[in-house]
Amino acid sequence: MAGPRFELRYFLLAVLIALVLWGMAHGSSSIERGFDIPVVIHDLPDRLVVTDLSADVVNIRLLGSRAALRDIDPSQIEYALAVGDAHPGLAVFEVDLTPVEGRLPRNVRIVSRSPASLEVKFESRSRKSVKVRPDLEGEPAPGFVLTQVEVDPPRVWLQGARTDVLRLSEVVTETIDMSGLDQPTEREVKLALGAGRVWMEETGSVKVKLQIEPAPPPEPPPAARRR
């Protein structure tokens, strides 16, 4: 009886060793995997604004073991694009992944990248003081009227791309719905500035005060006044 048990023990041990060896081989075999890493602008001169970027991410393909690639967290990696020497106009920067390679695990290497270069459009920064205009819609409750609108502050300083800033004579608030209002109301709203090429110098919102009052009684017709 000892013989079969002895053979079974060795058979199970052999299976266990085979599984361990397979796991080691599977974990150490080299594979390729792609990652998208965000492009982050660094050292942008204060006198410039980025108005266009040809790609928001750089795709890199890495070669390494499954275990090593599994340990990579792409959210912790960025492609830092230094633009300290930029001037207004279009500039082309070759994608240099040397700093990224230094942050990868040992025995993991970059085999390809896309795109190979990045195009960045720069524009001079400008500033301007413009009037704030509240965007109102709707009507107060029946029997009430809007008698006055106050905006605080009435003007704001804007900064951004020169062509966008200089063409502005006023800036509009988010829409304020007056429907059904029957008393003075104050709303705190943001400005509708578009997609990031223009911004307020001072962060914060704008206050709009709406003076809602009862509508004055209608004047009697001329015939009634003569009586």
> Final residue of a domain: which of 123, 146, 167?
123
Judge contact between 33 and 73, C-beta under 8 A. no
- Reduced to 3 states, what is the DSSP secondary structure of residue 125? strand
> Final residue of a domain: which of 101, 123, 145?
123
What is the reported pLDDT for 216? Answer: 87
Judge contact between 74 and 34, C-beta under 8 A. no
**Distance between CA 80 and CA 218 in Å, rounded?**
68
Chain Cα centroid distance, residue 90: 22
Per the prediction, the chain carries an average pLDDT of 87
CA dihedral angle for residue 166, residue 90, residue 54, residue 37, rounded to 10 degrees: -100
**Distance between CA 145 and CA 136 in Å, rounded?**
13
Residue 76 lies in a domain: yes
Residue 16 lies in a domain: no
Judge contact between 83 and 64, C-beta under 8 A. no
**Distance between CA 206 and CA 204 in Å, rounded?**
7
Domain that holds residue 47: 31-123
> Six-digit token pair at 6?
């002895």
Residue 129 lies in a domain: yes
Q: What are residue 30's phi and psi, to 5 degrees?
A: -80, 135
Q: What is the pLDDT of residues 40-82, one digit of tens each?
A: 999 999 999 999 999 999 999 999 888 888 888 888 899 999 9
Q: What is the pLDDT of residues 186-215, one digit of tens each?
A: 999 999 887 678 999 888 789 999 999 998
Residue 81 lies in a domain: yes
Instruction: Provide CB contacts within 8 A for 64, sequence distance 6+.
Output: 30, 31, 104, 105, 107, 108, 109
Residue 7 lies in a domain: no
pTM across the whole model: 0.69
DSSP letter at 55 equals -
> Final residue of a domain: which of 76, 95, 123?
123
**One domain, residues 136 and 196:** yes
Residue 85 lies in a domain: yes
**Distance between CA 44 and CA 122 in Å, rounded?**
10
**One domain, residues 98 and 133:** no
